[in-house]
Amino acid sequence: MSNTISLGITPLRDALLEGHNNACLALVRVKAPAAPALQARRKALNLALVIDRSGSMSGRPLEEAKRCVGMIIDRLGPQDRASVIAYDSTVDTIVPAQNVTDTAVFHRALAQVESRGMTALFGGWLAGAEQAALGATDNYISRVMLLSDGCANEGPDSLEDIAPHVSTMAASGVSTSTCGLGNGFNEDLMMGMAKAGQGQGYYGDTAEDLLDPFTAEFELMRALCARKLRLSLQTPDGVKAKVLNDYAQENDGRWALPDLAFGAEGWALVSITVPARLCGPGVTLDQLLRVSVSLDECQTDRTLVLEQTLSLPTLPAGAFSALAEDARVKARAQELRAAELQLEARTAARRGRWDQVDQILRKAEQEAGENPWVAEGLKALRVHAEARRTEEFAKETVYKSRAMSSRLTSIEEVEPSFSVKDEAEMPSYLRRKLEQGKRMPPPSGRT
């Protein structure tokens, strides 16, 4: 097993169809090494944990939120920094940013948090971002983790107003992850903030489901081996290429890929369009696609640039049709198609067009083919559709679509295969969940 990050390109088929316009797929894979036995040199964490304490959080939701924040605090060490912010109509920094040398300080402050008031979501996030910015140096992974169970109703409340601030903080080294709870929060705002903040978007259907996203987020940050991954594509004249994933494209044309963890692969599915005039008999298109990925290694603080090229020959129809399709590329394509259809179904559900929702889900099930994770996830989604539960359906489709289009994959993942038991044994941030808002059963022998 290599101990370095590598870059590869895998086409759906190993050739182009001679004499025809070609629309082919290629999977770009950024592969991390397996986790080292000891991660003594792991990057220290600098976290701002922001808790919604509005009136709707009263009772079990707030208690579970406090428990999850306490769990993270207990797993930090003296080299790590943390702050805790609680917000309703007002915002209080209940523990200012400091090294976690005494966890009791944090637990005493958490015990005093009680529900009240409205939801000043932006103010809570901003206070967290300001606290995290105090320690945002290259020595830390700095992140705001924002929890809310409702819609922003104090201060700025739209994604258009909030996202630029979140994006600016991410560019300065403070990323944002969000976690929604229940069915009352604004999933477009929470997911939009996570995307703008170059972090992760999670949700929990009930209070007891909160532990999954908090655990996944913390374990992901502890396992990071590379950040600030940026993907560039180059093609010859006449050839066009675009990334099909739901990744942000920056002003310079590069795509921002998710942070990379040990034992995982980051990926992008690329559509390549080649005109017939370039696909003559016996031709090999050298450097049909040139890929460059820049990234910052967490353990060494080095910036690396990885490059790879794809060249493909042309084949006549008979030989081309005999080529097998790569199972991994096909599976990623099925996931992206399912993600697209689920968002279409969400739009129809929001309009009350459940007949359209049923039609779209049937189409998605047909196109899932032999991809068992997609197929089983659609069955779980159909339960919400058949009950005509608009909010539950809308939230699950948004988060499931995002997971399918931007997830890290395990370097041990085999296509096509899926079982809940096997997924439960995976690191939490690599699990393919059937329902994004539900806590996954713990691995066998654990509670």
Task: Indicate whether 39 pLDDT > 60.
Answer: no
Q: Please list, in sequence order, all residues whose beta carbon lies within 8 angstroms of the beta carbon of residue 279, skipping any fewer than 6 positions away.
A: 16, 17, 18, 19, 20, 21, 22, 285, 314
For domain 6-34+226-321, the CATH architecture is Sandwich (2.60)
Percent of the residues in the chain that have a pLDDT greater than 90, as a whole number: 87
Q: Quickly state the pLDDT bin for 155 (edges 50, 70, 90).
A: confident
Which amino acid, 174? V
Separation in Å, CA 400 to CA 80, 143, 219, 261: 32, 23, 20, 20
Look at residue 77 in the predicted model and tell me its pLDDT: 95
pTM for this entry: 0.93
Mean pLDDT, residues 18-24 taken together? 96
Mean pLDDT, residues 354-379 taken together? 95
Q: When comparing pLDDT for 38 and 276, which is higher? A: 276
pLDDT tens digits, one per residue of 285-320: 999 999 999 999 988 889 999 999 999 999 999 999
Q: Quickly state the pLDDT bin for 68 (edges 50, 70, 90).
A: very high
Look at residue 37 in the predicted model and tell me its pLDDT: 54
SS (H, E, C) the chain: CCCCCEEEEEECCCCEECCCCEEEEEEEEEECCCCCCCCCCCCEEEEEEEEECCHHHCCHHHHHHHHHHHHHHHHCCCCCEEEEEEECCCEEEEEEEEECCCHHHHHHHHHCCCCCCCCCHHHHHHHHHHHHHCCCCCCEEEEEEEEECCCCCCCCCCHHHHHHHHHHHHHCCEEEEEEEECCCCCHHHHHHHHHHCCCCEEEECCHHHCHHHHHHHHHHHHHEEEEEEEEEEECCCCCEEEECCCCCECCCCCEECCCEECCEEEEEEEEEEECHHHCCCCCEEEEEEEEEEEEEECCCCCEEEEEEEEEEEEECHHHHHCCCCCHHHHHHHHHHHHHHHHHHHHHHHHCCCHHHHHHHHHHHHHHCCCCHHHHHHHHHHHHHHHCCCHHHHHHHHHHHHHHHHHCCEECCCCCCCCCHHHHHCCCHHHCCCCCCCCCCCCCCCCC
Task: Indicate whether 324 pLDDT > 60.
Answer: yes
Look at residue 443 in the predicted model and tell me its pLDDT: 65
Task: Indicate whether 38 pLDDT > 80.
Answer: no
Most confident range (mean pLDDT) of 53-62, 347-356, 367-376 is 347-356
With contact defined as beta carbons under 8 Å apart, do 247 and 406 qualify?
A: yes
Q: Label residue 91 exposed, middle or buried (CB < 10 Å: 0-12, 13-18, 19+).
A: buried
Look at residue 283 in the predicted model and tell me its pLDDT: 94
Task: Indicate whether 428 pLDDT > 80.
Answer: yes
With contact defined as beta carbons under 8 Å apart, do 377 and 418 qualify?
A: no
Question: Out of 21-25, 238-242, 249-253, 344-348, which region has the weakest mean confidence (pLDDT)?
Answer: 249-253
Task: Indicate whether 144 pLDDT > 60.
Answer: yes
Q: Which CATH class is domain 44-209?
A: alpha beta
The average confidence (pLDDT) of the chain is 93
Q: Which of 71, 70, 76, 51 is nearest to 61 (CA)?
A: 51
Look at residue 397 in the predicted model and tell me its pLDDT: 97
Q: Which of 20, 2, 24 is nearest to 10 (CA)?
A: 24
Q: Quickly state the pLDDT bin for 41 (edges 50, 70, 90).
A: low
Q: Quickly state the pLDDT bin for 369 (edges 50, 70, 90).
A: confident
Look at residue 325 in the predicted model and tell me its pLDDT: 96
Mean pLDDT, residues 42-69 taken together? 94
Q: Quickly state the pLDDT bin for 115 (edges 50, 70, 90).
A: very high
Mean pLDDT, residues 128-142 taken together? 94
Mean pLDDT, residues 83-92 taken together? 96
Mean pLDDT, residues 19-28 taken together? 97
Which amino acid, 383? V
Task: Indicate whether 209 pLDDT > 80.
Answer: yes
Task: Indicate whether 444 pLDDT > 90.
Answer: no
> For the chain, where do the domains classified as CATH 3.40.50.410 start and end?
44-209
Q: Quickly state the pLDDT bin for 47 (edges 50, 70, 90).
A: very high
Task: Indicate whether 133 pLDDT > 50.
Answer: yes
> For the chain, where do the domains classified as CATH 2.60.40.740 start and end?
6-34+226-321
With contact defined as beta carbons under 8 Å apart, do 260 and 32 qualify?
A: yes
Task: Indicate whether 445 pLDDT > 50.
Answer: no
Task: Indicate whether 168 pLDDT > 80.
Answer: yes
Look at residue 447 in the predicted model and tell me its pLDDT: 46
Which structure tokens are listed for 92?
């209080």
